[in-house]
């Protein structure tokens, strides 16, 4: 399959550098799999943004640990753990909605053929 033009895989809105890296990686894979024209690009953008948020939260937990010093100098649970778990759950839900993972019954390359035909029509 031909390589996509830069314009063909630009996100629908601007992304921070980390989210853009996620977008580029997933867009290239979806294009290569022949599924680029059959997915929701706004959801892919949301997936990239949520991944960037998850990575920032994960870095905070990795740096500060699960337990941190609270306001009254007592040890408390890191407040980043709740949004971290929420972001992880959202990533799973969004990945299924896109879908990023292809069900086994569809993994026969048929999507690549459809995308090739769509490109020829343009």
pLDDT over threshold 60, residue 73: yes
Does this model's pTM top 0.85? no
- Residue 63 confidence (pLDDT): 97
% of the chain at pLDDT higher than 90: 71
pLDDT over threshold 60, residue 108: no
The CA-based angle 29-114-34, given to 5 degrees, is 5
Strands 67-69 and 75-77: antiparallel
- Residue 9 confidence (pLDDT): 84
- Residue 120 confidence (pLDDT): 65
């Amino acid at each position: 399959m031909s390589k996509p033009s830069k314009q063909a895989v630009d996100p629908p809105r601007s992304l921070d550098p980390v989210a853009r890296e996620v977008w580029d990686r997933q867009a290239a894979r979806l294009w290569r799999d022949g599924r680029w024209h059959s997915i929701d690009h706004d959801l892919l953008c949301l997936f990239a943004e949520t991944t960037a948020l998850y990575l920032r939260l994960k870095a905070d937990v990795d740096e500060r640990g699960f337990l941190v010093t609270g306001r009254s100098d007592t040890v408390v649970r890191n407040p980043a753990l709740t949004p971290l778990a929420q972001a992880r759950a959202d990533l799973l839900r969004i990945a299924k909605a896109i879908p990023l993972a292809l069900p086994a019954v569809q993994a026969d390359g048929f999507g690549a053929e459809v995308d090739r035909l769509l490109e020829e029509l343009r």
